[in-house]
C-alpha cells in the first residue's frame, strides 16, 4: 500500500492564503475605506478651521504658522481614530477565525502554526503599512491644499514634513500588530477591543509626566511616541511647554519597532503553544 505524503505548504502559499482571507472579507473594505475617508476629512476640517481663522490669529502665530500647518497634516484626533481602527482590524484577523471555528480547519490544513501566524503577521503588517501610507499621504496633500488657499501650505520638502507623514503611516501597522497580539492572547473580540483601547488610547492620558519613571512609561507608549515624532517644534517652540523629561526622535522610532516586534512574537508564540 502506498501512503500519500502531503508536502508542507510553502511560505509563499501561506502568504497567498492569508491575503485571500483578508481581501475576501467585505467588512475589510468597509472598515478600511470608511476609516480612510473619515481620517482625511477630519484632518481637512482642522486645516479648514485654520484657513478660516487665520486672519484673527496674532502675529506670533502667523509668523510661525508652518508649525501649525504640520500639526494639521495629521492631527492628534485623527491619530487616535487611526489607532482604534487599525487595532480592531488587526485583532479581527485572529479573533475572527477563533470565533467562527475556522481556525480548526486552518490548523488541520497547516499544522505548522508558527509559519501560519508568521504569514498572517506579514500580510497584516504589509497591508496596514500601505493603508497608513495612503491615509497619511492623502491627509498631507489635502490639508496643505486647503491651506494653500491663503498661501500657507507647507511643501513636503519642508524640514520635518516627511517625518510627520512617515510616523503617521507607521502608526497603522504598529497598532494592527498590537491588536493581533492581544487577539491571540484573549481570543474574544469585545475583551480584546477593550484591552487595546485601554493600552493604546487611555493609558497615555492617565500616565503623568511628573516623575521620571512615569515619564519613561508614557514615552514608551505608541501614541506618545507618535506625538514626539510629529512634533517638529518639540521643546523649542514658543507655543509649547518644554517637557520635564524629554525624549528623542530616535527613541520614538525605537518604541514603534519594539511594540511591533513584541506584538508579532506574542501572536506567533501564543498561537503555537496554546490549544485551540
Please say if the pLDDT value at position 276 is more than 70.
no
Cell of 275: 490549544
Over residues 189-233, the pLDDT tens digits come to 889 999 999 999 999 888 888 888 888 999 999 999 999 999 988
Q: How confident is residue 6, by pLDDT bands cut at 50, 70 and 90?
A: low
pLDDT tens digits, one per residue of 112-166: 889 999 999 999 999 999 999 999 999 999 999 999 998 889 999 999 999 999 9
Q: Cell digits for 92? A: 479581527
Cα→Cα distances 28→41, 90, 122, 219, 251, Å: 20, 11, 17, 32, 32
What is this structure's pTM?
0.91
114/62 Cα distance (integer angstroms): 55
Residue 24 pLDDT: 83
What is residue 154's predicted lDDT score, i.e. its pLDDT? 93
User: Cα separations (Å) of 21 from 7, 60, 97, 111, 128?
Assistant: 22, 53, 10, 18, 15
- Between these two residues, 2 and 270, which has the higher pLDDT value? 270
Query: What is the residue whose three cell numbers read 488610547?
Result: 201
Contact yes or no for 8/109 (Cβ under 8 A): no
Check residue 8 and give its pLDDT.
65
Q: Give the C-alpha separation, 263 to 103, whole Å.
A: 20
Amino acid at each position: 500500500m502506498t501512503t500519500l505524503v502531503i508536502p508542507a505548504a510553502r511560505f509563499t502559499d501561506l502568504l497567498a492564503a492569508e491575503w485571500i482571507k483578508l481581501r475576501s472579507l467585505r467588512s475589510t473594505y468597509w472598515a478600511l475605506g470608511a476609516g480612510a475617508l473619515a481620517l482625511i476629512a477630519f484632518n481637512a476640517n482642522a486645516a479648514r478651521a485654520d484657513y478660516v481663522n487665520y486672519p484673527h490669529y496674532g502675529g506670533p502665530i502667523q509668523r510661525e504658522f508652518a508649525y501649525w500647518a504640520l500639526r494639521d497634516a495629521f492631527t492628534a484626533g485623527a491619530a487616535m481614530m487611526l489607532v482604534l481602527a487599525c487595532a480592531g482590524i488587526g485583532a479581527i484577523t485572529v479573533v475572527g477565525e477563533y470565533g467562527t471555528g475556522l481556525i480548526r480547519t486552518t490548523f488541520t490544513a497547516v499544522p505548522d502554526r508558527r509559519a501560519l501566524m508568521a504569514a498572517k503577521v506579514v500580510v497584516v503588517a504589509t497591508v496596514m503599512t500601505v493603508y497608513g501610507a495612503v491615509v497619511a499621504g492623502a491627509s498631507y496633500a489635502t490639508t496643505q491644499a486647503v491651506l494653500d488657499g491663503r498661501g500657507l501650505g507647507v511643501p513636503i520638502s519642508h524640514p520635518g514634513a516627511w517625518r510627520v507623514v512617515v510616523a503617521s503611516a507607521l502608526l497603522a501597522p504598529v497598532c494592527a500588530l498590537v491588536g493581533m497580539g492581544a487577539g491571540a492572547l484573549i481570543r474574544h473580540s469585545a475583551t480584546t477591543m477593550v484591552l487595546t483601547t485601554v493600552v493604546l488610547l487611555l493609558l497615555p492620558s492617565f500616565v503623568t509626566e511628573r516623575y521620571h519613571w512615569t515619564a519613561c512609561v508614557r514615552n514608551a507608549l505608541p501614541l506618545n511616541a507618535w506625538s514626539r515624532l510629529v512634533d517638529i517644534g518639540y521643546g523649542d517652540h514658543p507655543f509649547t511647554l518644554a517637557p520635564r523629561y524629554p525624549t528623542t526622535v530616535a527613541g520614538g522610532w525605537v518604541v514603534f519597532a519594539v511594540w511591533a516586534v513584541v506584538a508579532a512574537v506574542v501572536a506567533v508564540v501564543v498561537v503555537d503553544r496554546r490549544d485551540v
